[in-house]
Amino acid sequence: MTPDVEELLADAHVVRLPLVTRFRGVIEREALLLRGPSGWGEFSPFLEYDDAEASAWLAAAIDAAWGAPTPVLRDAVPVNATLPTVPVDRIREVLERFGEVRTVKVKVADAREGLADDVARVREVRRILGAEGRIRVDANAAWSVDQAERAAHALAPFDLEYLEQPCTTVAELAELRERLRDWQLPIAADESVRKASDPLAVARAGAADLLVVKVQPLGGVARALRIVAEAGLPAVVSSAIDTSVGLAMGARLAAALPELAYDCGLGTAALLAADVTAEPLRPRGGVIAVRAVEPDATLLRQHAAPPERVAWWHERVRRCAALLAASTLTAG
């Protein structure tokens, strides 16, 4: 049964963790952790997300902490390194935090930079990885179709694995995919899945070659698995700079997929300067383990958010829980 909001908050902890470098314009990551009979769950939608979008993240946290664990098919998940828009001279330093990985996702299309900066960053990653390494780039829907096509041309010498969410709309992705058809450069859909009212629209439109799925914004492991199955496309499981609790939720999703052809974006604990557990889910030998994470009480206290932020997150949980309850009643 779904717990009521007082039960949700009875053993909730709001933490604020420093990052090793700026990511999505922030240098700290806030998250609310919930403990239930099945373990721990994480609720960490970005601060700018409205309650309707954030409520799916709460559903995922409840599923992790109160739901039945989904059976898994593997005990470890291969992961990529994630490279924020850092200067070229910091690239090796950031990548070394991930250890030995064969794949790097490079963030591109930063509003403060230009295409030349993206090319320079990808060129340096290729130099570090060598010819056998895999490079994917993520534009977070920041390009127009023309800009994305120009970027694809400029980045072609570096043998990209795929181009992630280059444009905003499904129609734009479909047009770009048609323009790049002879290039054999796959298009991955992220925001068109996790931020869409219909996460299957991109698959029906033939606008992507693979899906990027994240357990929190999709409402939990079971719903994410259904979306992947109905889409009929390969999937990459990713994260949103979660604590190790959230990464464990993503790892369970990746471990439950029937096929896992791509390295997953679940190594991002390497971008945290601190975590909530003494044994964080950081990459080791290019993989993370599929296991439960138990937060450390000392670390929860050490990284506790200020009281006003705790109150803010508690109110957010209350509002999102009310939306979930209303949607359940409507569905019933």
What is the Cα–Cα distance from 275 to 19, expressed in whole angstroms? 10
Any known ligand binding at 164?
yes
By the 8 A CB rule, do 271 and 97 touch?
yes
Active site residues: 107, 214
Alpha-carbon distance values, 10 to 7, 43, 323 (Å): 5, 15, 19
What is the Cα–Cα distance from 272 to 288, expressed in whole angstroms? 15
Cα-Cα-Cα-Cα torsion 316, 298, 275, 225, nearest 10 degrees, comes to: -60
Any known ligand binding at 138?
yes
By the 8 A CB rule, do 85 and 109 touch?
no
By the 8 A CB rule, do 217 and 194 touch?
yes
By the 8 A CB rule, do 34 and 8 touch?
yes
Q: E-assigned strands of 122-181?
A: 134-138, 160-164
Write the CB contacts of 1 (distance below 8 Å, at least 6 apart in sequence).
Answer: 66
Any known ligand binding at 110?
no
What's the DSSP call for residue 162?
E
Burial 253-289 (b: 16+ CB within 10 A, else e): bbbbbeebebbbbbbbbbbbebbbbeebbbbeebbbe
| Residues that constitute the known binding site for Mg(2+) | 138, 164, 190
| Residues that constitute the known binding site | 138, 164, 190
